[in-house]
Amino acid sequence: MFSGIIADVGAIARAEDRQGGLRLTVGTHLLGMDDVQLGDSIAVNGVCLTVVQKVANSFVVDVSRETLDCTVGLDRQGAKVNLEKALRLSDRLGGHLVSGHVDGVGEVVAFNDVGESWRLIVRAPHELAKYIAQKGSITINGVSLTVNRVAGNEFEVNLIPHTLAVTTLHELKAGAKVNLEIDLIARYVERMMTVEST
């Protein structure tokens, strides 16, 4: 599990083809690799990946074709990526509970400076829109955010200067694709309602 609070912006230093999937070497300066062990989970742009090797200030992960097909931002060498290590039981939960399992890919509709913050409007896949609620939580490229408005398949969040400074979200523009993970609670509520009605 993760919190959606980004620890570092790293970069994909190498992307090697491995039987349809990719082996990525991800460089980091601030993540703190001393306590990372082989088999540990690290969220890369919101995608939970398993560390298979450590090399100086970088780590290596394997990404399956299945994961590549349902996410964005993991297949380009040189790309900057949001990084977060898995939570420990003693950690503060500054964002919200995030699984690192991307539910779908959204598209940026608009990203505008509104003075004290930036307004980001994203169009979610139709099948995910029902899970997104005003004042609820959403994860965009691994970043925990609060939904301010929902209109059909589109939702809006505000990004403060600090968030823009410590994540890759400042690079977004209209038409960009983003990884979305809905709030876990919404999934469980739907499941409970489905079971009760059968």
Residues 120 and 35 occupy one common structural domain: no
The residue among 58, 85, 112 that closes a domain is 85
Range 33-53 average pLDDT: 96
The rounded distance, in Å, linking the Cα atoms of 72 and 45 is 8
pLDDT above 80: residue 188: no
pLDDT above 80: residue 186: no
User: Would residue 152 count as lying in a domain?
Assistant: yes
Residues 146 and 190 occupy one common structural domain: yes
- According to the model, what pLDDT value does residue 79 have? 97
User: Would residue 3 count as lying in a domain?
Assistant: no
User: Would residue 97 count as lying in a domain?
Assistant: no
Where residue 126 falls among pLDDT bands split at 50, 70, 90? very high
Between the alpha carbon of residue 99 and those of residues 48, 120, 144, 149, the distances in Å are 7, 23, 11, 23
The number of domains in the chain is 2
Range 15-22 average pLDDT: 93
CATH number of domain containing 28: 2.40.30.20
pLDDT above 80: residue 36: yes
Residue 28: CA count within 13 A, CB half-sphere = 27
| SS3 at position 45 | coil
- According to the model, what pLDDT value does residue 78 have? 96
- According to the model, what pLDDT value does residue 109 have? 98
Residues 115 and 184 occupy one common structural domain: yes
The residue among 85, 120, 137 that closes a domain is 85
Q: What is the DSSP string of 73-129?
A: SSS-TT-EEEEEEPPPTTS--SS--B-S---EEEEEEEEEE-SSSEEEEEEPPHHHH
pLDDT tens-digit map of 108-118: 999 999 999 99
The parent domain of residue 63 ranges over 8-85
